[in-house]
């Protein structure tokens, strides 16, 4: 059974640009959630999607957005990148009746 796949693994962007990260959940999992991990703030919840609907959002500015497709794959987008957006972005999938399985993450560096 394939795990959660996040692409790309590493990304370098310039301030002001936008970026799109992708997450393919475990087959059959309809819930996908996103997290930002930084040394200063630790792991913070960004948002969760279920059946193409955003059901909850963490305390992040509107520059952070996401979507989920009918096959449960999800993307998150960050517009107008700032240096502080440099982080490891983790995606997790869940069948809702059990725990969350994480991908290996996308390491975003903003220069």
Partner 1 sequence: AQSVTQLDSQVPVFEEAPVELRCNYSSSVSVYLFWYVQYPNQGLQLLLKYLSGSTLVKGINGFEAEFNKSQTSFHLRKPSVHISDTAEYFCAVTPLRGGADGLTFGKGTHLIIQP
Taking the complex as a whole, the smallest distance from the CB of residue 101 to partner 1 amounts, in Å, to 7
Name 57's Cβ contacts closer than 8 Å, sequence gap at least 6: 46, 47
Rounded to whole angstroms, how far apart are CA atoms 43 and 67?
A: 20
> Considering beta carbons, is residue 14 or 98 the nearer one to partner 1?
98
φ, ψ of residue 88 in degrees (nearest 5): -95, 125
Task: Tell me the residue length of the chain.
Answer: 111
Taking the complex as a whole, the smallest distance from the CB of residue 97 to partner 1 amounts, in Å, to 8
CA 107 from chain centre, in angstroms, equals: 11
> Considering beta carbons, is residue 3 or 16 the nearer one to partner 1?
3
> Considering beta carbons, is residue 47 or 64 the nearer one to partner 1?
47
Query: Which structure tokens are listed for 66?
Result: 């996401």
Taking the complex as a whole, the smallest distance from the CB of residue 8 to partner 1 amounts, in Å, to 14
Residues that bind partner 1 (CB under 8 A): 4, 6, 31, 33, 35, 42-48, 50, 55-56, 58, 90, 92, 94, 96-105, 107
């Amino acid at each position: 059974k394939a795990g959660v796949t996040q692409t790309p693994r590493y990304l370098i962007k310039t301030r002001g640009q936008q970026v799109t990260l992708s997450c393919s959940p475990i087959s059959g999992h309809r819930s996908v959630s996103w997290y930002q991990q930084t040394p200063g703030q630790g792991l913070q919840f960004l948002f969760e999607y279920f059946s193409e609907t955003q059901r909850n959002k963490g305390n992040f500015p509107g520059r952070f957005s996401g979507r989920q497709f009918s096959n449960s794959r999800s993307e998150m987008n960050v517009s107008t990148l700032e240096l502080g957006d440099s982080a490891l972005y983790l995606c997790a999938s869940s069948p809702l009746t059990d725990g969350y399985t994480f991908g290996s993450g996308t390491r975003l560096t903003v220069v």
